[in-house]
A and B are shown apart, each in its own frame.
Chain A
Amino acid sequence: MSHFLKDKTAIAGIGLTEFSKKSGVSELSLAAQATLAACEDAGLQPSEIDGFISYTLDSTDEIELARTVGANDLKLFTKVNYGGGAAVGTILHAVMAVASGVADNVICYRAMNGRSGQRMGQGISGQIVSSDLIHWSWYMPYGMLTPGSWIAMIANKYMHHYGVTSEDLGRVAISQRNYAQTNPRAFGYGKPLTMEDYLASKMVAEPLRLYDFCQETDGGCAILVTSAERARDLKQKPAMIRGVVQASTQGQEQMTSFYREELDSLPEMELAARLVYQQSGLGPDDINAACLYDAFTSEIIMQLESFGFCGRGEGKDLVRDGALDIDGRLPNNTHGGLLSEAYIHGMNNIAEGARLIRGTSTNQPKGVEHVLVSSGVGVPTGALILGQD
C-alpha cells in the first residue's frame, strides 16, 4: 500500500537571494527577498501563503516574514531544531500540513548573514543552565568550540578504520568545485581547485583542511510546497515529493555523538535512509542524483554508505571511481553544494534538488527521475526524495 504522503505534494517554487560575504541588508530582508522570489517563480501571490517554516537558528520569526511579504491568515508556523539538521525537516512539516489540509501553500525558508553577522562556531557562554548548554559544556571548556572540531573527531576514526585518505576528501571537494564553474551564483565560480591546492591548504582540525569546510555565506533561500494538483497548475514543472522524513537515533547528541559503541557510521542517516526509502517505495538503485549535506567533505563519503549506494567502508571506492561527477553513478551537489556554492544551511541543496527534477541545473545529468536530498550530518537529521510528476 502506498504511503499516504507519497506524491501528495510538490515543490512549486524556489527563491534565492544573491550569495555574498557581506549582504549589507538584514536577515529579514534576505528572507523576504527569497520568499517573494519563490512566489514569483511559482506564479503564486504572497497573499496565498498560509504557512511559514524555518530553523530554530533563524533570526527571522514567521510572523515577521509574513507581515513583510504581505501574507494574510497563517494556519501554520513553526521552526525545526538542530542547525542544518532542520533542512528537509522543514519540508516534512510543510508536506504533512498540506497533505492533511491544515495549510495550502507553505514557505520553508532560511536566511542568514552567516559571514558578516553571527558566524558558526563562536562559542556559547553565560549563566543560563539548560540541558543543551550542559551538553555543550562537556566540550567547550576543552577548547572544542567549532563544528570542525566536532566533526573531525568522527571523521578521523572513520578514516582510520576504513583507510580513507586526504586525497579522497580532496576528490569530494574538487568534484563540487568543478560543478561550481558553471554556476555564476556559486562562491567557487571562477575559482577552480586542484589536488595540489587542496593538499597544500592549511590544516584546520586534523584530518580536515580548509577545503574540507563549507562556505560562510550571507544569503537566503525559500522553497514553496503546495499540493500536487495546485503545483500542476502553476508555472514550473513540479518536483514531486516522493518521501520526506526526520531521523534521530539512540545516543544522539548535537554534533558530538561520541558515546556510541561504533563511531564509524552515521546511525541517524541510516535511519533516515530506511524511512525515506520505505515511504517512497524506492531504493538506492532508483536514485539518479543527490544533494547530500556537505558541511564537510567527509560527510559525503559516509553518507554514500548510509544511503546504501555501497557497503560500509566502500564510500571511498565510489568516490575514487568518480561516482560524484556528472557522468558518474551519483552526480552530487551539481550546483557546488555548501562547499562551493553557498552555505545556506542545506536549503540551497533542496533548491538544487528541485532544479534537477525540472532539468534546469547548470550541470544537468541526463534522465534524472529521482533526487535524494539530506539534512545536516552528526545532528538529528532527515532525508527527502524528489521525483518527476
Chain B
Amino acid sequence: MAQSFRMKPPMGEDNGWWWQEAAEGRLAIQRCTQCQTLRHPPRPVCGECHSFDWDHVTASGRGTLCSFTILHHPQFPGFDYPLIIILVDLEEGTRFTSQLVNCAPEDVSFGMPVEMVMHEDPDGFRLPMFQPAKGAAA
C-alpha cells in the first residue's frame, strides 16, 4: 500500500463509524433516535435530550459555504497550496469542515453553493471534499 502524507484520525468508538461510512463513499450525519436531532461532529450523547441512542443519515452532499480560509503558510508535505478550507452548511442543517477543490482561490465566496466529492488518497483513505455546485450561478 502506498504511503500517505495525511494524518489519519484516531478511530475510536465515537468517531470510527463515521470514517467507515466515508470509506464506503458516504457523508454521514449522526442522528439521535429519541428526538431525531442531527449532530456533527459525532458525540456519544444527544445534547438536546441526553439519549445515548443514535443512528445516522446520509447527507445529500449539497450545501452552502459558511466561511473559509485560504492557507499559504506553513506548507505541509503532500498538500497543494493555496489550500482552501471551508465550513459548509449542509442542507440537512449541520455544519461540516472540509476542503474546497476544483475552484480557484479568487472564485471562493461566502454563501456559494457547493457539493460533495469523495476524495481518495493513493493509500485508499477516503474523505469528503467539496466543489462548486454544478449548474449553480458562478
Contact = CB atoms under 8 A, between A and B. Distances in A.
Interface string A256-287: 10110001000000000000000000000000
Interface stretch (B3-11, B26-34, B55-63): B3-11
B108 to A, nearest CB: 9
A152 B68 CA distance: 8
Interface in A105-141: 121, 123-131, 133-135, 137-141
A327 to B, nearest CB: 35
A143 interface: yes
Contacts of A146: 71, 74
A156 B69 contact: yes
Contacts of A256: 97
A206 B68 CA distance: 8
A154 interface: yes
A206 B70 contact: yes
Interface string A133-161: 11101111111111001001110110010
B115 to A, nearest CB: 17
Output the residue of B8, B69, B127 with the most chain A CB within 10 A: B69
Contacts of A154: 67
Interface in B40-98: 40-41, 66-74, 76, 79, 82-83, 85, 87, 94-95, 97-98
Contacts of B99: 142-143
Identify the interface centre among B12, B82, B98: most chain A CB within 10 Å of its CB.
Answer: B12
Which of A133, A134, A203 has most B Cβ within 10 Å? A134
A312 interface: no
B41 to A, nearest CB: 5
A153 B67 contact: yes
Given A156-B68, A206-B70, A135 B12 contact: no
Nearest to B86: A153
Interface residues of A, number: 40
B131 interface: no
A137 B7 CA distance: 8
B21 to A, nearest CB: 14
Nearest to B41: A138
Contacts of B72: 202-206
B97 to A, nearest CB: 6
A49 to B, nearest CB: 39
Contacts of A157: 66-67, 110
B15 interface: yes
Nearest to A155: B69
B14 interface: yes
Contact of B69 (A129, A140, A153, A202): A153
Contacts of A130: 10, 12
Contacts of B97: 138-139, 142, 144, 256, 258
A152 B110 CA distance: 14
B10 A129 contact: yes
B15 A134 contact: yes
Interface of A: 121, 123-131, 133-135, 137-146, 149, 152-154, 156-157, 160, 202-207, 256, 258-259, 263
13 contacts: A121-B74, A134-B14, A137-B15, A140-B7, A142-B99, A144-B85, A145-B76, A146-B74, A149-B85, A153-B67, A205-B69, A263-B67, A263-B87
Interface of B: 6-12, 14-15, 40-41, 66-74, 76, 79, 82-83, 85, 87, 94-95, 97-99, 110, 127
